[in-house]
């Protein structure tokens, strides 16, 4: 008897943070989000239930949604679809350094937030877990510091260390050379709304009210991904959802995510997921290739 697809889990240790990649089919088992976690769902769900501190909520999840919790654990149930997610655990010492405090800041609860910085970081780490890209300790450290500063500034009620002294920015605004949260949100909204259209750096720069040159530099400094890398990542995640959740043909899926050259779409999709579109659809609910260990150290 075929036991069906099995869950896969990969845990890696990086300078400044720990990341966990999870893929699992629906099982009816209650899962738990640990303390001080930032998570990104790469799957779509309807009617998921969470319980934390005596509160019970039911809601839908969009691919790319960001979740977080502080010192309270969150219990998840009624997950009826195959799940794929990345959990990120910044080191307490890194959070304290970002806050300029001797006490570890507590990450506030988040549910279904759109956040380009967190999403880009999780996308990079996900590809590293799957063995599709190489992330060395230097790049991982940059990602960790950027994420800690972002989390402390936006989701812990504190301004990152040194901002008041230098006069650069108060909490909620970006450091010099980066995009603030409002502008990043505008750009991310444009990307999500126009994944099926032709998108240029000029279009994205206009949303941020910057020249294309300054926008490209600021966006990468803010998220860790160049604008075209971010757009491609979102397109391939949308394509994956369409391949698994619709009856569109592969060419139709390619057109739906803004790529008119089907051969190019297949190449990009394989580079992003490790599978050709037809292989993903044939596999159906089977898990992706075994997670790779090109960087970091497995815990």
Residue 47 has pLDDT above 50, yes or no: yes
Give the least confident one: 6-10, 106-110, 174-178, 244-248. 174-178
pLDDT tens digits, residue range 157-183? 766 655 433 333 443 455 668 999 899
Residue 120 has pLDDT above 60, yes or no: yes
User: What pLDDT sits at residue 175?
Assistant: 66
User: What pLDDT sits at residue 295?
Assistant: 42
pTM of the model: 0.87
User: What pLDDT sits at residue 26?
Assistant: 84
User: What pLDDT sits at residue 156?
Assistant: 87
CATH fold of 1-173, please? Answer: Jelly Rolls (2.60.120)
Q: How confident is the model at residue 201 (pLDDT cuts 50, 70, 90)?
A: very high
Q: Is 209 exposed, middle or buried (0-12, 13-18, 19+ CB in 10 A)?
A: exposed
- Chain-wide mean pLDDT for the chain? 88
Residue 65 has pLDDT above 50, yes or no: yes
1-173 and 176-287 share one fold:
no
If you average pLDDT over residues 23-32, what whole number do you get? 86
Q: Domain extents for the chain?
A: 1-173, 176-287
Q: What is the CATH number of domain 176-287?
A: 1.10.10.60
């Amino acid at each position: 008897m075929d036991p069906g697809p099995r869950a896969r889990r990969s845990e890696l240790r990086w300078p400044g943070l720990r990341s966990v990649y999870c893929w699992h089919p629906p099982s009816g088992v209650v899962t738990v989000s640990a303390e001080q976690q930032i998570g990104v769902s790469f799957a779509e769900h309807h009617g998921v239930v969470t319980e934390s501190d005596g509160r019970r909520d039911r809601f839908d999840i969009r691919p790319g949604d960001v979740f977080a919790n502080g010192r309270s654990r969150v219990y998840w149930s009624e997950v009826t679809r195959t799940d794929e997610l990345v959990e990120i655990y910044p080191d307490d010492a890194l959070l304290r350094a970002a806050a300029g405090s001797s006490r570890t800041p507590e990450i506030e609860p988040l549910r279904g937030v759109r956040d380009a910085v967190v999403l880009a970081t999780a996308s990079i780490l996900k590809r590293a877990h799957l063995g599709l890209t190489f992330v060395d300790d230097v790049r991982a450290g940059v990602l960790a510091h950027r994420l800690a500063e972002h989390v402390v500034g936006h989701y812990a009620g504190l301004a990152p260390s040194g901002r008041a002294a230098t006069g650069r920015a108060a909490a909620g605004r970006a450091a010099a050379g980066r995009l603030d949260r409002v502008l990043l949100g505008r750009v991310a909204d444009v990307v999500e709304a126009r994944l099926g259209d032709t998108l240029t750096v000029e279009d994205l720069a206009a949303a941020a009210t910057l020249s294309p040159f300054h926008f490209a530099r600021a966006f990468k400094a803010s998220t860790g991904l160049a604008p075209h890398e971010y757009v491609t990542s979102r397109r391939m995640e949308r394509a994956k959802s369409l391949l698994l959740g619709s009856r569109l043909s592969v060419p139709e899926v390619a057109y739906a995510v803004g790529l008119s050259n089907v051969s190019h779409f297949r190449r990009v999709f394989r580079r992003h997921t490790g599978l050709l579109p037809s292989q993903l659809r044939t596999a159906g609910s089977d898990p992706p290739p075994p997670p790779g260990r090109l960087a970091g150290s497995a815990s």
